[in-house]
Amino acid sequence: MDDLLKKAATLHELAQYCNRYLGPNVVKGEKLVFGEGPSSAKIMIIGEAPGVQEAKTGQPFVGSSGQLLTKLLHQIGLKREQIYISNILKTHPPGNRKPHRSEIKRELPFLLRQIELLQPQLLVLLGATALQALLDPNAKITKLRGQWLEIKNLPTFVTYHPAAALRDETKKAALAQDFASLQGYLESR
């Protein structure tokens, strides 16, 4: 699959490959969520997988997690439209469950090629699924949140997923603190 995806020379072409290869896995009435944002985006945000709202619209982070994400971006002076937003999975896991390893194995190559084609200046990973899929299956979000790592040769900031923050006030405060620290980094460059 990796070799095949190398043939996609643009994000548009990659989206076509994605439809061809993952489209058959999409439940009737749902859409693939490839990711969205300008191809010139310097920041790429990576979440877990589309939820119900995202699978309905075909856009990432448009449900309650997305609303919190948009608010956090706004609070640090960024507009959602400046950022490329994507997920580890392009398909909605049934019943909103966590992605299975087999799904991550099948769909991750699309995200990896998406990063190569977008060439962002930095990545922001939201939550344990993104962290574990891209760094190490045993990595702990509680340990690494708020920290910078290097993934795919890019500076990569790790924080909680907005859905976790919506369930837990302590994580919500930590997420806001992490976004403030991200703002500090962006302003210092």
Nearer to ligand URA, 49 or 182 (CB): 49
* Residues paired with 149 in a beta bridge: 156
99 interacts with ligand URA by CB under 6 A: no
d(CA 141, CA 174): 12
Smallest separation (angstroms) from ligand URA to the CB of 162: 7
Nearer to ligand URA, 78 or 165 (CB): 165
Binding mask 36-55 for ligand URA (x = CB under 6 A): -----------xxxxx--x-
Smallest separation (angstroms) from ligand URA to the CB of 22: 15
Judge contact between 84 and 36, C-beta under 8 A. yes
Which of 17, 34, 61, 157 lies at the binding interface for ligand URA (CB under 6 A)?
61
Smallest separation (angstroms) from ligand URA to the CB of 174: 17
Residue 43's CB is within 10 A of a number of other CB atoms, namely 19
109 interacts with ligand URA by CB under 6 A: no
With CA atoms as reference, report the closest residue to 115 among 154, 166, 164. Answer: 154
d(CA 160, CA 164): 7
d(CA 43, CA 67): 18
Residues that bind ligand URA (rule: CB under 6 A) add up to a total of 13
d(CA 92, CA 55): 6
User: How many Cα atoms occupy the beta-carbon half-sphere of 122 within 13 Å?
Assistant: 12
| Range 65-84, binding ligand URA (CB under 6 A) | 65-66
Q: Which residues bind ligand URA (CB under 6 A)?
A: 47-51, 54, 60-61, 63, 65-66, 87, 163
